[in-house]
Amino acid sequence: MSKPLIHNLTIIGVGLIGGSLARALRQAEAVGTITGAGRNREHLEIAQKLGVIDRVETDLAAACRDADMVVLAVPLGAMQAVLEQIAPVIGDNTIITDVGSAKASVITSAEKAFGRIPPNLIPGHPIAGTEKSGVEASFAELFEQRRVILTPTETSTDPAKQLVSNMWQACGAQVLEMSVAHHDAVLAATSHLPHMLAYALVDSLARQDDSQEIFDYAAGGFRDFTRIASSDPQMWHDICIANRESLVTALERFIADLQDITRAIQQADSDFIKQTFQRAKQARDAFCDK
Amino acid sequence: MSKPLIHNLTIIGVGLIGGSLARALRQAEAVGTITGAGRNREHLEIAQKLGVIDRVETDLAAACRDADMVVLAVPLGAMQAVLEQIAPVIGDNTIITDVGSAKASVITSAEKAFGRIPPNLIPGHPIAGTEKSGVEASFAELFEQRRVILTPTETSTDPAKQLVSNMWQACGAQVLEMSVAHHDAVLAATSHLPHMLAYALVDSLARQDDSQEIFDYAAGGFRDFTRIASSDPQMWHDICIANRESLVTALERFIADLQDITRAIQQADSDFIKQTFQRAKQARDAFCDK
């Protein structure tokens, strides 16, 4: 057997993303030993029984001591605490990456934990997932043909970048680089904002007196539109807090646009309404698969 | 052959809805002769060749003269003009119904055209459709197990109500009654408002400088969320104008809710954020099929 890409891999947080990464790297024969780390031993033992990880470790520092690569696959809200626990044992030869949906906050947390932005940290974000969560839902093909955005910092080293990039490519993903600020703004617009709208709409309707009836009459379009409101509330809370600044900017811009449309409808401004809808349809048809 | 439910049926506007109604009634052997009426002869001749209608008529008054039932399946923006053309020939024995997504505006148009709200008018709204339009996309099963809301007026007669109800039941639909105001408010909340949000979001992103890139990074949730932004702009313009009052109320309430969420994110008000998302997830999971 040839030398694997990563000899000792530690994944902190073995859920849908962490578990799928482990499975994909194993399938690609790109990894030696996989240590699964986290607070919940029982949960990790399930992952071990499923063959997703080789070793279970609830002491995060111990889990990272001999690692060549540490992947932080914990919720964004746990990132700061995890980084603080592992910082003392992470040497220059251990590469760190994460899978969080917001990137500036991870870098800020790392800077606090390490006293500087570690040059061996390559923040990452695989644009992949399902509505399910947990290691039981993980599968090796989750990242195939999906995009992974890396947001290296000014001090990030090339070998670190290369290894993280190779890791995701071994999972079948397409790896791209982006600045931290740009990543956070783009994701706020295309992912975090739509989730806010879906959550707000369903909650708004649910709080009305006749909510049962309202949902009864919702048609197919409503189901599609609100599917993302079934996403994990705690995870999305963490994303909101972590990407607060970009998300508030996106929300404020959207509210202003919505106020313009409301005014146009109120004034029966047909030109404005039709132009808006036509531009949107054109963009939707051109940019997205149907 | 037993006597059909409707001897002479006239459908004005033979598109997806009008065409599917014709096909469904034919399949159920619930109709004698179907006259397809509209402005565009060529278009109606296609419907005739497809076997959807028996007769083609571009003179709307002539099309209605001997009809037992007239179904208005034209866009909401055309309703007023069509009602004015047919009003002079509609006798008390001809029942009229429509398929518009907003109901108060249809009743107002009818009152203007007839000089009173005709007692033989039963406004209706089948909650069914696809992203496609036109008679070529029509099919007999479109209304099966779908809801049709009837909003009879104070003067509507029972036999008229009964026949329209029987017509939709013959198509496999579940028929319900609702007040006009309630229909328009419920549909504004569950259908018209979500369409506004999808159109506004896609347009808002499309107008940004880096729109191409923004759409490139949009994940699966975004595609689902914005699918309805591919809907027909002219049709949705008409719906906005027709249901203006209820829609503006729904938009204003939603904007206020969105402002509350924005404030909560800005202030990192975790309790507010989590409670909102949890309520929404619970409502979405409870009320909608996944």
DSSP for A13-37, written as a single string: S-SHHHHHHHHHHHHTT-EEEEEEE
| Phi, psi for residue B78 in degrees, rounded to 5 | -100, -5
Task: Fill in the amino acid letter for B24.
Answer: A
> Does residue B220 or residue B174 have the better pLDDT?
B174
What CA–CA distances, in Å, run from A101 to A76, A79, A128, A218? 8, 12, 10, 31
Which of A178, A276, A282, A289 best tests the B interface by mutation, with the highest count of B CBs <10 A? A276
DSSP class of residue A55? E
Kindly state whether A40 is in contact with chain B, defined as any CB-CB distance less than 8 angstroms: no
pTM for this structure?
A: 0.88
What CA–CA distances, in Å, run from A186 to A183, A246, B204, B263, B275? 5, 9, 13, 21, 26
Which residues of chain B make contact with A187, given a CB cutoff of 8 A?
A: 217
Which residues of chain A make contact with B259, given a CB cutoff of 8 A?
A: 255
- Please state, in angstroms and rounded to a whole number, the distance separating the CA atoms of residues A130 and A148: 15
What CA–CA distances, in Å, run from A234 to A148, A191, A242, B275? 23, 16, 12, 10
Kindly state whether A233 is in contact with chain B, defined as any CB-CB distance less than 8 angstroms: yes
**Quick one: closest CA in A to B283, which residue?**
A206
- Per cent of chain B over pLDDT 70 is 97
Kindly state whether B99 is in contact with chain A, defined as any CB-CB distance less than 8 angstroms: no
Note the pLDDT of residue A127: 92
Give the distance from residue A124's alpha carbon to the nearest chain B alpha carbon, in angstroms: 14
Residue among A119, A185, A174, A127 at smallest CA distance from A152: A119
Which residues of chain B make contact with A283, given a CB cutoff of 8 A?
A: 202-203, 205-206, 211, 215, 229
- Please state, in angstroms and rounded to a whole number, the distance separating the CA atoms of residues A279 and A209: 36
Note the pLDDT of residue A1: 53
Note the pLDDT of residue B290: 42
DSSP class of residue A174? E
Which residues of chain B make contact with A202, given a CB cutoff of 8 A?
A: 280-281, 283-284
Average pLDDT rounded to a whole number, residues B187-194: 93
| A57-115 confidence digits (pLDDT tens) | 999 999 999 999 999 999 999 999 999 999 999 998 999 999 999 999 999 999 999 99
In this complex, which of A210, A266, A273 lies closest to B248 when CB atoms are compared? A266
Average pLDDT rounded to a whole number, residues B130-146: 90
Q: What is the rounded (10 degree) CA torsion for A38, A42, A44, A50? A: -170
Kindly state whether A87 is in contact with chain B, defined as any CB-CB distance less than 8 angstroms: no
The answer to whether A4 and A31 are in contact (CB under 8 A) is: yes
Kindly state whether B187 is in contact with chain A, defined as any CB-CB distance less than 8 angstroms: yes
**Quick one: closest CA in A to B246, which residue?**
A266
Place of tokens 């879906």: A198
Which residues of chain B make contact with A265, given a CB cutoff of 8 A?
A: 240-241, 244, 247-248, 251
Note the pLDDT of residue B167: 98
Which residues of chain A make contact with B190, given a CB cutoff of 8 A?
A: 205, 214-215, 217-219, 222
Residue among A267, A270, A220, A217 at smallest CA distance from B231: A220
What CA–CA distances, in Å, run from A5 to A30, A33, A163, A164, A245? 5, 11, 8, 10, 37
Residue among B216, B230, B259, B262 at smallest CA distance from A186: B216
In this complex, which of B194, B236, B288 lies closest to A201 when CB atoms are compared? B194
pLDDT at position B154 over 60: yes
The answer to whether B118 and B28 are in contact (CB under 8 A) is: no
- Please state, in angstroms and rounded to a whole number, the distance separating the CA atoms of residues A95 and A86: 12
Give the distance from residue A189's alpha carbon to the nearest chain B alpha carbon, in angstroms: 7
- Please state, in angstroms and rounded to a whole number, the distance separating the CA atoms of residues A160 and A96: 8
Residue among A87, A64, A137, A68 at smallest CA distance from A55: A64
Q: What is the rounded (10 degree) CA torsion for A77, A79, A82, A86? A: -170
Note the pLDDT of residue B213: 76
- Please state, in angstroms and rounded to a whole number, the distance separating the CA atoms of residues B148 and B164: 10
DSSP for chain B, written as a single string: -PPPSEEEEEEES-SHHHHHHHHHHHHTT-EEEEEEE-S-HHHHHHHHHTTS-SEEES-HHHHHTT-SEEEE-S-GGGHHHHHHHHGGG--TT-EEEE--S-SHHHHHHHHHHHSS--TTEE-EEE----S--SGGG--TTTTTT-EEEE---TT--HHHHHHHHHHHHHTTPEEEE--HHHHHHHHIIIIIHHHHHHHHHHHHHHTSTTHHHHHHT--HHHHHHHGGGGS-HHHHHHHHHHTHHHHHHHHHHHHHHHHHHHHHHHTT-HHHHHHHHHHHHHHHHHHS--
Give the pair of three-digit tokens for residue A163: 């290894």
Count the neighbouring beta carbons within 10 Å of the beta carbon of residue B27: 15
**Quick one: closest CA in B to A289, which residue?**
B223
| A259 three-class SS | helix
Kindly state whether B173 is in contact with chain A, defined as any CB-CB distance less than 8 angstroms: no
Kindly state whether A1 is in contact with chain B, defined as any CB-CB distance less than 8 angstroms: no
Residues with Cβ within 8 Å of A188's Cβ and at least 6 positions away in sequence, in order, are: A243, A246, A247, A249, A250
- Please state, in angstroms and rounded to a whole number, the distance separating the CA atoms of residues A134 and A136: 5
- Please state, in angstroms and rounded to a whole number, the distance separating the CA atoms of residues A203 and B287: 12
Count the neighbouring beta carbons within 10 Å of the beta carbon of residue A247: 28
What CA–CA distances, in Å, run from B238 to A82, A218, B80? 54, 20, 12
User: Between residues 117 and 156 of chain B, which touch chain A (CB distance below 8 Å)?
Assistant: 127-129, 131, 147, 149
Place of tokens 């006239």: B10
Helices B233-242 & B244-266, crossing angle to 10 degrees? 100
Note the pLDDT of residue A286: 85
The tens place of each residue's pLDDT in chain A, 290 residues long, gives 578 999 999 999 999 999 999 999 999 999 999 999 999 999 999 999 999 999 999 999 999 999 999 999 999 999 999 999 999 999 989 999 999 999 999 999 999 999 999 999 999 999 987 767 899 999 999 999 999 999 999 999 999 999 999 999 999 999 999 999 999 999 999 999 999 999 999 999 888 877 777 777 776 678 888 888 988 999 999 999 999 999 999 999 999 999 999 999 999 999 999 999 999 999 988 876 54
| Phi, psi for residue B42 in degrees, rounded to 5 | -55, -45
Chains A & B: contacts with CB separation below 8 Å? 283
Q: In the predicted model, what is the mean pLDDT of chain B?
A: 94
The answer to whether B269 and A241 are in contact (CB under 8 A) is: no
Residues with Cβ within 8 Å of B183's Cβ and at least 6 positions away in sequence, in order, are: B103, B125, B149, B151
Which residues of chain B make contact with A209, given a CB cutoff of 8 A?
A: none
| B42-91 confidence digits (pLDDT tens) | 999 999 999 999 999 999 999 999 999 999 999 999 999 999 999 999 99
Note the pLDDT of residue A20: 98
Cα within 13 Å of Cα(A37), Cβ side: 27
| A6 three-class SS | strand
**Quick one: closest CA in B to A259, which residue?**
B255
| B78-110 confidence digits (pLDDT tens) | 999 999 999 999 998 999 999 999 999 999 999
pLDDT at position B210 over 80: no
Note the pLDDT of residue B288: 65
Give the distance from residue B175's alpha carbon to the nearest chain A alpha carbon, in angstroms: 12
Kindly state whether B177 is in contact with chain A, defined as any CB-CB distance less than 8 angstroms: no
Give the pair of three-digit tokens for residue A142: 């989750």
Place of tokens 């706020």: A188
pLDDT at position B220 over 70: no
